Amino acid sequence: MPMAAEDIETMIKAAFPDARVTIQDLRGDGDHYAAHIVSSAFKGKSRVQQHQMVYKALQGRMGGVLHALALQTSAPAD
């Protein structure tokens, strides 16, 4: 069963309460998403570290329930 965009957003915001999250269903199938996440938690982290933080927030659902997620992450501008 595909994962709902709202569930992805909820999990991300639980891990990063200050996050601004935008989720887009790329194919309309509930299985391929793009996410843009801005959080102060990403400050000073490399892009790889930021993405790892998001994957951790998704609690192992990547590659299973959540087939594809294109990530764009950043810290807020000062």
Radius of gyration of the chain (CA): 12
How far, in Å, are 13, 17, 46, 47, 69 from residue 3 at the CA level? 16, 21, 27, 24, 11
Domain 5-74 CATH superfamily: BolA-like (3.30.300.90)
This prediction has a pTM of: 0.87
Q: What is the pLDDT of residues 23-78, one digit of tens each?
A: 999 988 778 899 999 999 999 999 999 999 999 999 887 777 777 889 999 999 87
Q: Got the DSSP string for the chain?
A: -PPPHHHHHHHHHHH-TT-EEEEEESSSSSSEEEEEEE-GGGTT--HHHHHHHHHHHTTT-BTTTB-EEEEEEEPPP-
Q: Please state the domain extents for the chain.
A: 5-74
